[in-house]
Amino acid sequence: MTDYQTRVSVRDVSNYQHGSRQIRDSGGRVALVGAGPGDPDLLTVRALREIQLADVVIVDNLVSDAIRQLIPDSACSIHVGKAKGKHSASQSEINRLLIDQALLGKRVCRLKGGDAFVFGRGGEEMLALREAGIDVELVPGITAATGCSGYAGIPLTHRGISQGCTLITAHAEKSLDIDWAAWLRSTTPL
Protein backbone atom coordinates (compact mmCIF):
# COMPACT_ATOMS: atom_id res chain seq x y z
CA MET A 1 0.00 0.00 0.00
CA THR A 2 1.31 3.42 -0.87
CA ASP A 3 1.04 6.56 1.19
CA TYR A 4 -2.76 7.06 1.44
CA GLN A 5 -3.30 4.70 -1.57
CA THR A 6 -4.67 7.32 -3.89
CA ARG A 7 -3.71 10.92 -3.42
CA VAL A 8 -6.91 12.76 -4.16
CA SER A 9 -7.73 16.20 -2.90
CA VAL A 10 -11.09 16.98 -1.40
CA ARG A 11 -11.67 19.64 -4.03
CA ASP A 12 -10.96 17.15 -6.88
CA VAL A 13 -13.43 14.59 -5.56
CA SER A 14 -16.10 17.18 -4.75
CA ASN A 15 -16.06 18.32 -8.37
CA TYR A 16 -17.93 15.15 -9.41
CA GLN A 17 -21.51 16.08 -10.16
CA HIS A 18 -24.38 13.97 -8.90
CA GLY A 19 -26.89 15.60 -11.23
CA SER A 20 -30.55 15.46 -10.37
CA ARG A 21 -30.51 11.86 -9.16
CA GLN A 22 -32.82 11.22 -6.24
CA ILE A 23 -30.88 10.84 -2.98
CA ARG A 24 -32.76 7.72 -1.92
CA ASP A 25 -31.96 6.03 -5.27
CA SER A 26 -28.19 6.52 -4.93
CA GLY A 27 -27.60 3.43 -2.78
CA GLY A 28 -24.74 5.25 -1.06
CA ARG A 29 -24.25 5.29 2.67
CA VAL A 30 -21.81 6.68 5.21
CA ALA A 31 -20.44 5.06 8.36
CA LEU A 32 -18.83 7.42 10.88
CA VAL A 33 -16.17 5.09 12.30
CA GLY A 34 -14.14 5.66 15.45
CA ALA A 35 -10.61 4.33 14.90
CA GLY A 36 -9.71 4.37 18.59
CA PRO A 37 -6.44 5.65 20.06
CA GLY A 38 -4.21 4.18 17.33
CA ASP A 39 -3.63 0.52 18.11
CA PRO A 40 -5.31 -1.63 15.42
CA ASP A 41 -6.05 -4.27 18.07
CA LEU A 42 -8.39 -1.75 19.72
CA LEU A 43 -10.62 -1.37 16.66
CA THR A 44 -14.03 -2.89 17.03
CA VAL A 45 -14.88 -5.79 14.73
CA ARG A 46 -17.53 -3.59 13.14
CA ALA A 47 -15.05 -0.75 12.56
CA LEU A 48 -12.68 -3.12 10.77
CA ARG A 49 -15.55 -4.47 8.65
CA GLU A 50 -16.60 -0.93 7.61
CA ILE A 51 -13.01 -0.11 6.64
CA GLN A 52 -12.64 -3.29 4.60
CA LEU A 53 -15.99 -2.96 2.80
CA ALA A 54 -15.66 0.74 1.94
CA ASP A 55 -15.43 2.10 -1.59
CA VAL A 56 -14.11 5.39 -0.20
CA VAL A 57 -12.34 6.02 3.11
CA ILE A 58 -12.17 9.65 4.23
CA VAL A 59 -9.51 9.72 6.92
CA ASP A 60 -8.46 12.15 9.67
CA ASN A 61 -4.98 13.15 10.82
CA LEU A 62 -5.43 11.35 14.14
CA VAL A 63 -5.80 7.92 12.53
CA SER A 64 -2.56 5.99 12.99
CA ASP A 65 -0.45 4.68 10.11
CA ALA A 66 -1.04 1.15 11.42
CA ILE A 67 -4.81 1.57 11.00
CA ARG A 68 -4.41 3.27 7.61
CA GLN A 69 -2.58 0.14 6.48
CA LEU A 70 -5.89 -1.75 6.94
CA ILE A 71 -7.58 0.28 4.19
CA PRO A 72 -7.91 -2.05 1.18
CA ASP A 73 -6.11 -1.21 -2.06
CA SER A 74 -9.49 -1.26 -3.81
CA ALA A 75 -10.72 1.73 -1.76
CA CYS A 76 -10.08 5.35 -2.62
CA SER A 77 -8.43 6.88 0.45
CA ILE A 78 -8.86 10.63 0.91
CA HIS A 79 -6.94 12.51 3.59
CA VAL A 80 -8.83 15.38 5.20
CA GLY A 81 -6.54 15.95 8.16
CA LYS A 82 -6.64 19.00 10.35
CA ALA A 83 -4.05 20.47 12.66
CA LYS A 84 -4.16 23.76 14.54
CA GLY A 85 -4.11 26.47 11.86
CA LYS A 86 -3.46 23.96 9.07
CA HIS A 87 -6.48 22.31 7.47
CA SER A 88 -6.42 20.25 4.28
CA ALA A 89 -10.18 20.77 4.11
CA SER A 90 -12.73 22.85 5.98
CA GLN A 91 -15.52 21.13 7.87
CA SER A 92 -18.06 22.28 5.26
CA GLU A 93 -15.86 20.79 2.49
CA ILE A 94 -15.66 17.49 4.40
CA ASN A 95 -19.45 17.46 4.85
CA ARG A 96 -19.91 18.14 1.12
CA LEU A 97 -17.43 15.39 0.22
CA LEU A 98 -19.29 12.85 2.38
CA ILE A 99 -22.61 13.82 0.80
CA ASP A 100 -21.23 13.82 -2.77
CA GLN A 101 -19.62 10.39 -2.41
CA ALA A 102 -22.80 8.88 -0.96
CA LEU A 103 -24.82 10.44 -3.80
CA LEU A 104 -22.49 8.68 -6.23
CA GLY A 105 -23.66 5.42 -4.68
CA LYS A 106 -20.45 4.83 -2.73
CA ARG A 107 -20.10 3.00 0.56
CA VAL A 108 -18.20 5.64 2.52
CA CYS A 109 -16.19 5.08 5.69
CA ARG A 110 -15.47 8.34 7.53
CA LEU A 111 -12.53 7.20 9.66
CA LYS A 112 -11.89 9.39 12.69
CA GLY A 113 -9.41 9.09 15.56
CA GLY A 114 -10.82 7.99 18.91
CA ASP A 115 -14.61 8.18 18.89
CA ALA A 116 -16.42 10.34 16.32
CA PHE A 117 -18.71 11.81 18.99
CA VAL A 118 -15.97 12.81 21.47
CA PHE A 119 -14.34 16.02 20.20
CA GLY A 120 -14.53 14.58 16.68
CA ARG A 121 -17.21 16.68 14.94
CA GLY A 122 -19.07 13.46 14.20
CA GLY A 123 -22.30 15.07 15.35
CA GLU A 124 -21.88 17.89 12.81
CA GLU A 125 -21.18 15.40 10.03
CA MET A 126 -24.15 13.22 10.99
CA LEU A 127 -26.48 16.23 10.99
CA ALA A 128 -25.27 17.37 7.55
CA LEU A 129 -25.70 13.85 6.13
CA ARG A 130 -29.17 13.40 7.62
CA GLU A 131 -30.25 16.83 6.35
CA ALA A 132 -29.16 15.69 2.86
CA GLY A 133 -31.18 12.48 3.22
CA ILE A 134 -28.09 10.24 3.32
CA ASP A 135 -28.13 6.93 5.18
CA VAL A 136 -25.59 7.37 8.00
CA GLU A 137 -24.66 5.33 11.03
CA LEU A 138 -22.17 5.60 13.85
CA VAL A 139 -19.59 2.96 14.74
CA PRO A 140 -18.28 4.01 18.16
CA GLY A 141 -14.57 3.87 18.88
CA ILE A 142 -12.52 3.75 22.04
CA THR A 143 -11.76 7.33 23.00
CA ALA A 144 -8.14 8.33 23.39
CA ALA A 145 -8.88 9.25 27.01
CA THR A 146 -10.06 5.78 27.99
CA GLY A 147 -7.55 3.95 25.79
CA CYS A 148 -4.53 5.88 27.04
CA SER A 149 -5.54 5.79 30.69
CA GLY A 150 -6.25 2.06 30.41
CA TYR A 151 -2.87 1.33 28.82
CA ALA A 152 -1.21 3.43 31.54
CA GLY A 153 -3.02 1.44 34.24
CA ILE A 154 -4.95 4.46 35.49
CA PRO A 155 -8.65 3.78 36.11
CA LEU A 156 -10.90 6.69 35.23
CA THR A 157 -13.34 5.52 37.89
CA HIS A 158 -12.49 3.56 41.02
CA ARG A 159 -14.86 2.66 43.83
CA GLY A 160 -14.19 4.81 46.87
CA ILE A 161 -11.92 7.19 44.96
CA SER A 162 -13.63 8.53 41.84
CA GLN A 163 -17.27 8.36 40.79
CA GLY A 164 -16.74 9.76 37.30
CA CYS A 165 -14.46 11.55 34.90
CA THR A 166 -14.64 14.76 32.91
CA LEU A 167 -13.39 15.29 29.37
CA ILE A 168 -12.64 18.87 28.38
CA THR A 169 -11.34 20.12 25.06
CA ALA A 170 -8.35 22.43 24.93
CA HIS A 171 -9.73 24.09 21.79
CA ALA A 172 -12.85 26.14 21.27
CA GLU A 173 -14.41 27.87 18.31
CA LYS A 174 -14.21 31.24 20.02
CA SER A 175 -13.07 30.95 23.64
CA LEU A 176 -13.11 28.32 26.35
CA ASP A 177 -15.93 28.95 28.80
CA ILE A 178 -14.94 26.63 31.64
CA ASP A 179 -15.37 27.26 35.35
CA TRP A 180 -11.94 25.96 36.37
CA ALA A 181 -12.51 26.78 40.05
CA ALA A 182 -15.55 24.50 40.11
CA TRP A 183 -13.51 21.69 38.50
CA LEU A 184 -10.78 22.12 41.11
CA ARG A 185 -13.35 21.64 43.87
CA SER A 186 -14.73 18.52 42.16
CA THR A 187 -13.72 14.96 43.08
CA THR A 188 -14.07 13.96 39.42
CA PRO A 189 -10.70 13.70 37.68
CA LEU A 190 -10.03 15.73 34.53
Is 179 a catalytic site residue? Answer: no
DSSP three-state, residue 93? helix
Query: Nearest to residue 109, comparing CAs of 73, 69, 139?
Result: 139
How distant, in Å, are the alpha carbons of 54, 58, 89, 135, 147 from that of 70?
Answer: 11, 13, 23, 24, 20
Catalytic entry in 12, 25, 55, 60: 60
Is 3 a catalytic site residue? Answer: no
Catalytic entry in 39, 55, 82, 135: 82
Largest Cα–Cα distance of the chain, in whole Å? 60
- The catalytic site residues sit at 60, 82
